[in-house]
Amino acid sequence: VLIAAGGISFVFRDKFVGGKAGLLVESRPVATVYVEGEQVGTTPYEVERSAGEISLRLIPIATDGPLAPWNAKVVLTEGITTAVRRDFGATDEESSGEIMSFEKILPRGAELVAVSTPDAAALFIDGVNKGFTPKKIESVAVGGHMLTFSHPGFLDREIVVKTEAGYKLVVTSFLAK
């Protein structure tokens, strides 16, 4: 089973002022990035922009044959860098990736929300089965964790994340067949 592993550090930036948010997009292979229908560059792509929902389109720059483009709505949160990663396959079903962002919460602890496509994937945190997606864990230790999403007929996906006190980490994982 192919396991994709990688970590993205979220960046809390004091320089984000006036409703600004960050967007980091990574892909394998390199892809052309479109935001709100406008071509803005290629991956890896990082920008600061206004917070709010955006339309994101990635078109892979394929060298070995056609790969499936990807479209998503992504919510950018003020003061937070939202990370998007996509591993392209020949079809959408053979592609995988994730969208990760934080939401401010009132308690000083950390929370985790894990969502997957397909849903009802088994969720493991640091090797411990936590049930099936979608899953909200209201109390998770602050620090680094390995999330594993597993579903019959799909490739497992491992994601290295870091939770922060006072924030809910929202991870949406897309599994490949």
Distance CA 62, CA 26 (A): 15
Q: What is the pLDDT of residue 17?
A: 55
Tokens of 173: 């994982």
Q: What is the pLDDT of residue 3?
A: 39
Tell me, what's the pLDDT at 37? 96
Q: Residue 7: what pLDDT? A: 45
Query: Which residues, 6+ apart, have CB-to-CB distance to 29 below 8 Å?
Result: 60, 61, 62, 63, 67, 88
Q: How far is the C-alpha of 177 from the C-alpha of 169, rounded, in Å?
A: 26
d(CA 43, CA 85): 10
| Residues 69-99 pLDDT 10s | 999 999 998 888 999 999 999 999 999 999 9
**SS3 for 94?**
helix
Report the pLDDT value the prediction gives residue 13, as an integer from 0 to 100.
45
The reported pLDDT for the residue numbered 114 is: 97
Q: What is the dihedral of CA 83, 46, 87, 146, to 10 degrees?
A: -30
Q: What is the pLDDT of residue 52?
A: 93
Query: What is this structure's pTM?
Result: 0.86
Contact 123, 135 (CB under 8 A): yes
Determine the pLDDT at residue 4.
Answer: 44
Q: Three-state DSSP class for 53?
A: strand
pLDDT in the model for residue 63: 77
In this prediction, residue 172 carries a pLDDT of 96
pLDDT at position 72 is 96
Give the per-residue pLDDT at 5.
42
Give pLDDT, residue 19.
Answer: 83
Query: Consecutive 10-residue runs of the chain (177 residues): their mean pLDDT?
Result: 42 58 96 98 96 96 89 92 95 96 86 96 97 95 96 96 92 96
